[in-house]
C-alpha cells in the first residue's frame, strides 16, 4: 500500500486540522466508493505518516475516533 498524506502548512491551527480530519473520516464510506483502496483506511494506519509529522489537530481528531 502506498500511503497518502494531506500536507498542510506548519502554521495551520489545530482546530482547522481537526475539522478537516474529522470531515475525511466522517465521509470514509464515500472515499471507499470512489476508490477501493479507501477500504484500507483506518485510524491506526492514518497515524503512520513517518517521516512527515502528524499535525497535532489531526492527532486530536484521530484520538477521538479511537
CA 34 to chain centre: 17
Predicted TM-score (pTM) of this structure: 0.83
All 3 cell numbers of residue 58? 489531526
Q: Is 46 left (phi over 0), alpha (psi -120 to 50) or beta?
A: alpha
Note the pLDDT tens digit of each residue in 1-51: 667 789 999 899 999 999 999 999 999 899 889 988 888 888 788 888 889
All 3 cell numbers of residue 28? 470514509
Residue 50 domain-assigned (yes or no): yes
All 3 cell numbers of residue 14? 489545530
Instruction: Please tell me the predicted confidence (pLDDT) of residue 37.
Output: 82
Residue 7 domain-assigned (yes or no): no
Residue 53 domain-assigned (yes or no): yes
Domain count, the chain: 1
CB 57 within 8 A of CB 12: yes
CA pair distance 39, 50, nearest whole angstrom:
21
Instruction: Please tell me the predicted confidence (pLDDT) of residue 16.
Output: 98
pLDDT of 66 above 90: no
Instruction: Please tell me the predicted confidence (pLDDT) of residue 2.
Output: 67
Domain interval for residue 23: 14-65
Residue 44 domain-assigned (yes or no): yes
Amino acid at each position: 500500500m502506498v500511503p497518502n498524506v494531506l500536507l498542510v502548512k506548519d502554521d495551520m491551527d489545530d482546530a482547522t486540522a481537526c475539522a478537516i480530519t474529522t470531515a475525511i473520516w466522517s465521509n470514509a464510506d464515500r472515499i471507499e466508493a470512489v476508490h477501493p483502496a479507501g477500504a484500507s483506511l483506518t485510524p491506526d494506519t492514518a497515524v503512520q505518516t513517518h517521516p512527515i509529522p502528524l499535525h497535532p489537530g489531526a492527532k486530536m481528531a484521530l484520538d477521538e475516533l479511537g
